[in-house]
Amino acid sequence: MVATIEPHAGRTADAVQAEVEAWIDEHWDPALTVREWWSKLATAGLSYSMLAPPYGRGYSREQNAAVFAALRAKGAMGPPAGIGTMLSLPTILTHGTPEQIEQFVPRIIDGTHGWCQLFSEPGAGSDLAGLQTRAERDGDEWVVTGQKVWTSTGQAADYGILIARTDPSAPKHQGITYFLMPMRQPGVDVRPLREMTGHAVFNEVFLDGARVPDSLRLGDLGAGWAVANTTLSHERAGIGEASGGFGRAAPGSIVGHLDRPCSDFLDKARAQMTQGHISPGTVKRFIELAREAGRLEDPMIRQAIADLHTRVQVMGWSARRAKGGAGGRTGVEGPLAKIGMTGTLRRGVELGCAILGPDAQLWGRDAATSGWFQELMVFSPAPGIYGGTDEIQRNIIGERGLGLPKEPGHPREMPFKDLPANATR
């Protein structure tokens, strides 16, 4: 895979956007299948242009933003998104062998594979290191048994990023190993969990003798906690980053989107819900909502809109600082970003309720806002829980960022098998 245009680190964002718009004019057609279009984006290095060649163009964050601005300006579908690009991609690039990177990265950025995250368990959510799922060596394979829960997009995943206990005699943070597990195999039972929004984004996954080749172990044996922290850092930052989504299909071979025309998903994108995030586009929606309701001149509403806009802008700046690398890093950018997003989401829900009044309680496509705000409101408790609760994020910030004492607990060197049951759950 080779980018069609050599990256130029010093080029302005405007120049990048103009170049990409010209490329889109030449290559974009809504009649293309999702597979064809995503392949074109990946081959051109435009799916995730911040990646180094041959997978991207080595662009800066500002240049990458210009790529997405060009796609939006031309009404083109964006690249594949989800667990694969947000979590699996950066973790594999950081900890993977050259063979693993070559096997998985191209198929993530062109949408061939869909992914899910097999971390949380019924007894190991906030205390993730207390996980009970075990992986036992059998020759060149590992046999996995246990249960995972809150597995986003598990029903649509070709692979899952899995952490399992491989040495119960080691301390609980040291006996964990990280795997890239094939999902479509005997011994993997995915059961969707219906949410109060009516959707089933989350799943519970039962593992009963599922197998993973040792070649798909990511990182060293027993070093899974360190690898998982890379994933968690990207997860929290990804949840906390404001972004304006545009027409996307689901990656992977399971749901059957790859061979459908892009136009199918662009049409649906026009009425898409906000999916639990507040972005600059969401702020614009609130402005239009206030204008339609005759509330735009209300000083309280105007102040709330200004507050929401400010918070979204600060989230964007913080994300750019965190991903920019040099200077200003705190070491807890991910938890700070996540708490920033959940707080902003709550402010957005308060604003929408203030604008709509009793109409905010009416559900469905025939309700005010065609239901997008109502779904946002009903979904809004979830981001404060998934990806590590806000309370856990505050603990991390206090301990790792501010140097406050850790909460009391059992000695970290105690073997996992010797921990009392209530200390492992």
Catalytic residues: 235
3-state secondary structure of 148: strand
Cβ–Cβ < 8 Å for 93, 75: no
Rounded Cα gap, residues 153 and 290, in angstroms:
34
Structure tokens given for 293: 């309701």
Structure tokens given for 422: 């209530």
- Our CA dihedral for 337, 342, 347, 348, rounded to 10 degrees, sits at 100
Rounded Cα gap, residues 355 and 345, in angstroms:
15
Kind of pairing between the strands at 159-165 and 115-118: parallel
**Side chain identity at residue 400, one-letter code:** R
- Our CA dihedral for 43, 81, 337, 410, rounded to 10 degrees, sits at -110
Dihedral angle sign, alpha carbons of residues 234, 152, 158, 255: negative
Give residues with Cβ within 8 angstroms of 274, minimum separation 6.
282, 285, 372, 375, 376
Burial 161-200 (b: 16+ CB within 10 A, else e): bbbbbbbeebbbbbbbbbbbbbbeeeebebeeeeeebeee
Rounded Cα gap, residues 308 and 300, in angstroms:
12
Dihedral angle sign, alpha carbons of residues 277, 126, 157, 4: positive
Residue 326: how many other CB atoms lie within 10 Å: 6
Bridge partners of 189, per DSSP, are 206
